Chain A
Amino acid sequence: MMSRQIRLIGGVLALLLVALLVNITVIQVVLARDYRERPGNQRILLAEYDRERGPILVGANPVAKSVETGNTLRYLRTYDDGPLYAPITGFYSLIYGATGLERTENRVLTGKSDLFFVDRISQLFAGRQPVGGAVTTTIDAAAQVAAFKGLKGKVGAVVAIEPTTGRILASVQSPSFDPNLLTSQVPETIRAYYEELKADPAKPLLNRPIVALNPPGSTFKLVTTAAALASGLYTPDSILPGPAFYRLPLSTSELQNWNRKECGPDGKVTLERALAISCNTAFAWLGVQLGDEALRRQAQLMGFDTSFQIPLKAATSRFPAELDAPQTALSAIGQFDVRATALQMAMVGAAIGNNGVTMEPYLVQEVRGPDLAILQTTEPTKFEAAMTPLHAAQLTEMMVNVVANGTGSNAQITGVQVAGKTGTAETDNDRPAVAWFVAFAPAQNPQVAVAVVIEESGATEITGNGLAAPIAREVIKAVLR
């Protein structure tokens, strides 16, 4: 009989079936995402244009919303003040995918989040398209506008944080881009604009406030000071050596102060004064005394070496591992391989202002359903206790002194005590120095901490006080108004 042969053929056919099943699983599960995101896949384009996507709100004001068009592609995504909010909303392009909150909150905005479970069930039975939910951001429109104005014509970023909660009040970049031009319904314009943005050497598509890493320069002295206070060996009044030049340990290189002068009479200076005038030699010496381990620990308590999702993925600011003495000296003044985002330096200011407690930064305040009922509210989360309240208060005093009597004079506001710190960092390559300013105010009860970083300005003299402090001042004024 031929049964044996038929069974064998049956076995071969079963293998073919398995091949079909495996192949289709690979397509629909493993490769599906890649296929969906391929340029030229109109399905996603049409499906997305066909449904109303929820808005992204600043206060009660939608900064990204879907508008009914009345033609075949039923909805168009529009951004009021697109370039202003671009680092927050990101763009939602059917050719280049999505970035920013448009990407991270996609499931909420499309109405596919599990938060809408009940809605989805009723939609299933009604056969309706899911309707998107709304995302309310933590952004303060006034602060955002003030920062945007200040950055005009420069290359840089501003981040403002509410110290007690970690709410991000402003996240601004320059140059920015207009997300409206990436969501138009004409693929050619989208492509042309995207190519133009990509070719721009100033990288407008980079989410500068949370992704661009720069040496923090003298603003890092805040961390060094915090470490010094934490060691118990130093107080604001401790006397440090502050010569005009400092010979790096084990090396022939010399470090100099920005004005090439001694920081005090006989090359001696108090810790408080050293911070106020940003004395490089004193802090380099201090860093070596404290050791890289203490600096690193202090930096990490304030958010270095941690990747934050706000929910946008921020770059990890870093304090390098395994430092020898000269490298430690340079790191203590925010040079060598220390790198920080504007977000990170705002967190440092916020932690000092918040009695030494670092909060997790966040950008999404609430998620609302299509009927605007609040479905989820973000609760402030403590990241680490970075300093004791006493040390935080001492450091705050020292920072107030920086603005009142030191290098940060441009941040002064009549009637408000501003605590701040300037920074001017050398970068490794031929690029101009980076100007920083980190501040919070009012000093005793801070409502806002802000970090400003200017990478390029066209100005010949680059200092944190000259370029960055005025912007920080305007942002603080906007929040306190």
Chain B
Amino acid sequence: MSESEPQSIRRQPSRRGTELLLLICAWALGVLGTLQIGWSTGEGTPSRLWVTVGVVGVLALVMHLVVRWKAKYADPILLPVATLLTILGLLMIYRIDVAAAQRAERNSAPQPTPDVYAQLTWFAIAVVLFVAVLILVKDHRRLQRYTYSFGLLGLILLILPLAPIIGTTVNGATLWVRVGGLSFQPAEAAKILLTLFFAGYLVVKRDSLALVRTKFLGLGFPQLRDLGPLVIAWVVSLGVLVFERDLGTSLLFFGLFITMLYIATQRRSWLIIGSLFFAVGAYLAYQLFEHVRNRVTVWLDPWAYADTTGYQIVQSLYGFANGGIMGAGLGQGFPTFVPFANTDFIVAAIGEELGLTGMFALLLLYAVLIERGLRTAVSVRDSFGQLLAAGLAITLALQVFVIIGGVTRLIPLTGLTTPFLSYGGSSLVANWVIIALLIRISDRARRPEVQQFDADDALTQVVRRV
């Protein structure tokens, strides 16, 4: 432990040393992985190895120092785990770059642009935002003031891909916005803004939403007019599904909203009502929209569509099967056989090359990250912080479940990015902002009770009436 300043009461060690040690381990794994990919694919030691691992090392160190400076008591696990996941993503993207380049060489096709440097740039941008959040947001409770602004902004971002000119349809789903040469997925930012909105809104409204009017089967049910917010969330989710054809985002928002509603009101009836709405929505979508129906048919029997709509999932399953328990080894699988190997299907590449062992490690990394988020939610003292931390952790969890479940054919496939792993800037940046917010909240949660009195604590008195 490297405590520089003397402190009279030290109930909670800051654990920053642990964090640094774990970060170094994550970085070292990245170096070894890069070398292994270079060697096993026959490319030799990557020429820009020390530049890339140097950049990653510096970025990780910067985040660590900022946490030390601005959020000294923050959870020490969040940052290293998210960093390790990002490094794993960079490794696989590099791996797929190599495979794509080799394939192009064999077919005498022009060399594709490698994606790993773009992703590295996005990581740098993500770190900038991470630092900005920690510096600008001194106390997460201040965010509650902007509840409705966040809500409005989130909603706008959500429907932005439908806007003329800038909205872009890629592979049938309208979830991109292109301005100038830059394109991004506004839904990634929207998920954070809407989580902030849900937290702020539900903290205020939860008393009325928790009000019991009717009892049925031993459960208290809310009054009819309180169904309003749920209906709005439902309609928006269906709207996303229908107009943007984005099944994943639609599922994510609705799932997030009903779980947060349940946590805020402490009424299980909301879960039941929410599930009913979900069932009705799912049924309607299945009946009315062909693209939803297609997903389900392919899910039920991908082999029948192995050459057409089921090609991706079938190739993904072949990849997992090829990996087996120990995996083919980094650099020794065929990750490019799965279309969109470095975005939606990056987990298939991991399953193939790192095997079941790697998949367990990966899922447990996510589990640790989410558990740390929920632990933060349970231990922070203000309701807004609790709801926000829980919401952010749940967003991550739902997204991981929906995409990995889809890629492994546990549930129908929906297009979502894999947090921290997938190639793509919007997703990486958004997920790092989530980590920044969780670190901010966990710093508050773990900070020793007795403190120097500062302006922030005045606010605590207001919120802490719960």
Contacts and interface: CB of A to CB of B under 8 A. Distances in A.
Contacts of B263: 2, 5-6, 9
Interface string A29-61: 101111110101111101100000000000000
Interface string B378-402: 1000010011001000100100010
A16 B407 CA distance: 15
A21 B360 contact: yes
A250 interface: no
A2 B324 contact: no
B408 A20 contact: yes
Interface in B358-379: 359-360, 363, 366-367, 370-371, 374, 377-378
Given A3-B378, A21-B363, A13 B397 contact: yes
Contacts of A16: 397, 401, 405
Contact of B306 (A5, A7, A27, A40): A40
Contacts of B259: 9
A44 B322 contact: yes
B146 interface: no
A2 B306 contact: no
B351 interface: yes
A24 interface: yes
B324 A28 contact: yes
Contact of B322 (A13, A19, A43): A43
B238 to A, nearest CB: 23
A9 B321 contact: no
B197 interface: no
Contacts of A38: 303, 318
Given A2-B263, A2-B383, A42-B337, A20 B410 contact: yes
Nearest to B330: A127
Most B CB within 10 A of own CB, among A6, A13, A46, A72: A6
A306 interface: no
A1 B387 CA distance: 11
B264 interface: yes
A44 B352 CA distance: 12
Given A4-B266, A23-B405, A28 B325 contact: yes
Nearest to A128: B40
Contacts of B412: none
A9 B374 contact: yes
B394 A43 contact: no
Contact of A5 (B39, B266, B366): B266
Contacts of B394: 9, 13
B319 interface: yes
Given A9-B390, A21-B363, A28-B356, A2 B320 contact: no
A456 B328 CA distance: 49
A27 B320 CA distance: 7
Given A25-B356, A36-B322, A20 B404 contact: yes
Given A10-B371, A28-B355, A41 B318 contact: yes
A6 B386 contact: yes
Most A CB within 10 A of own CB, among B325, B370, B371, B397: B397
A17 interface: yes
B390 A23 contact: no
B321 A32 contact: yes
Contacts of B374: 6-7, 9-10, 13
B36 interface: yes
Interface residues of B, number: 53
B355 to A, nearest CB: 7
A115 B344 CA distance: 40
B330 to A, nearest CB: 10
Nearest to A17: B367
Contacts of B303: 38
Nearest to A21: B363
B337 A29 contact: no
A10 B374 CA distance: 7
A1 B370 contact: no
Interface residues of A, number: 38
A6 B360 contact: no
Nearest to A25: B356
Contacts of A13: 370, 374, 394, 397, 401
Contacts of A29: 324-325, 356
Nearest to B379: A3
A5 B263 CA distance: 5
B416 to A, nearest CB: 14
B423 interface: no
A23 B334 contact: no
Contact of B363 (A10, A17, A27, A35): A17
Contacts of A35: 317-318, 320-321
B466 interface: yes
Contacts of B319: 43
B325 A2 contact: no
A20 B397 CA distance: 12
Given A29-B325, A72-B106, A20 B401 contact: yes
A290 B371 CA distance: 78
B323 interface: yes
A19 B397 CA distance: 13
A43 B317 CA distance: 11
Interface string A54-78: 0000000000000000001000000
Nearest to A28: B356
A43 B318 contact: yes
A23 B409 CA distance: 8
A6 B378 contact: yes
Contact of A2 (B264, B351, B356, B360): B264
B94 interface: no
B318 A28 contact: no
A2 B387 CA distance: 8
A112 to B, nearest CB: 12
Contacts of B325: 28-29
B378 to A, nearest CB: 5
B262 interface: yes
B321 A28 contact: yes
Contacts of B401: 13, 16-17, 20
A32 B262 contact: no
Given A2-B266, A3-B378, A29-B324, A23 B363 contact: no
Contacts of A42: 334, 337
A6 B390 contact: yes
A47 B405 CA distance: 27
A10 B405 CA distance: 18
A32 B355 CA distance: 11
A420 to B, nearest CB: 52
A3 B264 CA distance: 10
Contacts of A32: 320-322, 324
A72 B355 CA distance: 26
A19 B409 CA distance: 11
B270 to A, nearest CB: 10
Contacts of A28: 320-321, 323-325, 351, 355-356, 359
User: What 10 A-B pairs are tightest by C-beta distance, nearest first?
Assistant: A35-B321, A32-B321, A28-B356, A127-B39, A5-B263, A23-B410, A127-B40, A3-B378, A10-B374, A41-B318
17 contacts: A2-B387, A3-B378, A5-B263, A5-B266, A6-B263, A10-B371, A13-B374, A13-B394, A17-B366, A20-B401, A23-B408, A23-B410, A28-B325, A28-B356, A32-B321, A43-B318, A47-B334
Given A7-B378, A13-B401, A19-B410, 14 more contacts: A6-B374, A7-B374, A9-B262, A17-B401, A24-B359, A27-B409, A28-B351, A29-B356, A34-B321, A40-B306, A40-B307, A43-B319, A47-B328, A127-B36
Interface of B: 36, 39-40, 106, 259, 262-264, 266, 303, 306-307, 314, 317-325, 328, 331, 333-334, 337, 351, 355-356, 359-360, 363, 366-367, 370-371, 374, 377-378, 383, 386-387, 390, 394, 397, 401, 404-405, 408-410, 466
